[in-house]
Structure 1
């Protein structure tokens, strides 16, 4: 009877000094017999992937469709590894991605976790994400764009290149714009180096749709399109609770209700940025708490230091009209 086996693939080192050097290719694993059994559950890499997915669940509220898609990609790669052990050859999956959604919806966090998954499964050499924008890629003068783009690609080599607000690379209204040169370089690198680089394009959904429609060659090289929807009110309150607890604070009962009301008002204002706006609001609550505590002119207890009160929340300018009406 055959004994179930794990993968046993050597993993690339995560030590920065080792990653920086050119790594030797691991020895080819022995091809299994047709009647052998391969136990996915005992694979060390699969265990690391599950840990990463669990961390993603803990870090991000909601985003069920995003998490499901990440799990699907991870499962595909695990099955491809299993097929290789039985000598079943197939083309290497293309892993370039598009993340669309508003600000503060977790795109960068998911990219970082995706890098950990791809590294654990041997698809990239290091679990790193190099984040760039148009300014990091496009030069201001003739001859400057190619070196800037190639430098960014070199920094991302073996990992993930995350291009935020990628649609700014394409400016058809400006015939002298050098963004098209970046796209042409990316097209080449994404095809030639797809075994050593994953590119993630990110930005608002409508603009990204126009960006890809105007660059069909680029669109054809990006098979994974993941949408990050805005958080609803209940999810934002949950995010606030997690952020406050992570910093060893807590809302008292009244403060939590007032913060919920704050979010209702803030979501109606311009430039709302989901979890990013929540984090900024919590930081300002902490500032007002600190000012309040210093003004007490008395010894402070631990309870004082960890508690955010309704007064700390109501100090926001969003409640200023209420104070004026009450006068």
Structure 2
């Protein structure tokens, strides 16, 4: 307690709970509280301070300790705020009451609490230290990881508030040292988080078969974004990245929609997009049936997709092959989408067959300026289809028809690929691609049911799909 506070404390007549909290009269304080337990968090007039505010601000350690360990059913409000939005820890910090500050922090007081002016306890402790040349409360707050870079409502950090007064050099050295330590600590934490995010990305990419160029691009985006996180953790200011709009070109079943969903998760994970939602639309979701209908309809879908990805499937259907007599509104829908692509509010992916998509590219002179990444989804070969089947069986969710089932150990990549190669034609594989896998598995499960007898009691046999079942599944599918 400083001299001025000590004088005020001796002259005060403790007749109220707040007066006792100020003077440190513990016996009378306890008696008043015993007679009226509701006084525990009582607010005083004008300042709206609780007894904890007052005792912390006058460093009445015994009163503070009693309040924090109050045995009654009602507990003291550790984060109560007075008329200025200050907590008891603010009061201890602004008056250099180090012992009270230590007690409050030991009981879980929030070291980054902000008053109405945005100041944290560290801001106020710095002000006190400048006037008194006593850095003890500042040291206590820093030992409890108070943020040296926290800004008040005027954008000022505790360091910014330092003046050239007595003791400020010592204070500057103390704050600068802790600021550098905090930056290093944040950088190490960011490093750990970055690795975890990259591991999650690789886990998602492992579910995608083929598409090596696209995977390389996704890794590049993720690495760049996560490196920016590291830069910011070290206090560097770097410009925000904006993901490019894309076109996914390829036949049905080549994984365009699935990749869009993975991309949504990735862009959200690394902080490019605020959400991971992917809004899937086709011509019927965008194009109206009469004049004035298409614009509002398309804008509603764009609004729905904001913060995430707008995935326009079969985008070539927006531009008809031949110009009809009546106006086709598909071009209007495309122009509506184009008008928001520079806003940064949504990432647009146009998907469809490679050849018909050329109509879309040629229909709008701004298309290639806005859509800067084109990815070609090639047809899957037998080995890739076998890998897709195995990945699907290894990542079953509870809503899957195959949940609870497994493949026999003989169902390896080579065996399944050989089976697909023998039982399907190149034309069938090209037309169905990944769409061949789900119905094959469903058919295989049905064959398992037919193959087993009702008296089968082997739990493993009841849930194991064999090569024989897969062959029957493919046979039924390709008839």
| Alignment TM-score > 0.5, same fold | yes
- Residue 112 (1) aligns with residue 261 (2): yes
> Taking structure 1 as the reference length, what is the TM-score of the superposition?
0.75
Structure 2 CA distance for partners of 1:68 and 1:267, relative to 1, 3 Å: farther
Contact 1:52 1:116 in 2 (8 A): no
Aligned to 1:286: 445
Aligned to 2:463: 306
Distance in 1 between residues matched to 2:227 and 2:358, nearest whole Å: 31
Distance in 2 between residues matched to 1:79 and 1:170, nearest whole Å: 41
Contact 2:319 2:360 in 1 (8 A): yes
Distance in 2 between residues matched to 1:69 and 1:292, nearest whole Å: 46
- Residue 169 (1) aligns with residue 339 (2): no
Contact 1:167 1:207 in 2 (8 A): yes
Question: Which string of whole-angstrom CA distances, capped at 9 and with x for unpartnered residues, describes residues 233-262 of structure 1?
Answer: 212222222333444311363898775444
Aligned to 2:407: 250
Number of positions where the alignment pairs a residue of Structure 1 with one of Structure 2: 287
- Residue 263 (1) aligns with residue 420 (2): yes
Aligned to 1:178: 329
Distance in 1 between residues matched to 2:187 and 2:440, nearest whole Å: 48
- Residue 58 (1) aligns with residue 58 (2): no
Distance in 2 between residues matched to 1:251 and 1:119, nearest whole Å: 37
Deviation (angstroms), 1:115: 1.7
- Residue 277 (1) aligns with residue 426 (2): no
Distance in 2 between residues matched to 1:151 and 1:280, nearest whole Å: 35
- Residue 144 (1) aligns with residue 301 (2): no
Q: Which runs of 5+ in 2 are unaligned?
A: 1-152, 158-178, 397-402
Aligned to 2:237: 87
Structure 2 CA distance for partners of 1:50 and 1:314, relative to 1, 3 Å: closer
Deviation (angstroms), 1:205: 2.1
Secondary structure class of the residue paired with 2:242:
coil
Aligned to 2:107: none
Distance in 2 between residues matched to 1:93 and 1:321, nearest whole Å: 45
- CA radius of gyration, larger in: 2
Structure 2 CA distance for partners of 1:242 and 1:314, relative to 1, 3 Å: same
The farther-off stretch of 78-87 and 130-139 is 78-87
Greater relative contact order, per chain length (Cα 8 Å cut-off, separation 6+): 1
The farther-off stretch of 156-165 and 169-178 is 169-178
Structure 2 CA distance for partners of 1:304 and 1:156, relative to 1, 3 Å: same
Contact 1:94 1:222 in 2 (8 A): no
Deviation (angstroms), 1:54: 1.8
- Residue 75 (1) aligns with residue 223 (2): yes
Contact 1:94 1:223 in 2 (8 A): no
Contact 2:279 2:309 in 1 (8 A): yes
Aligned to 2:80: none
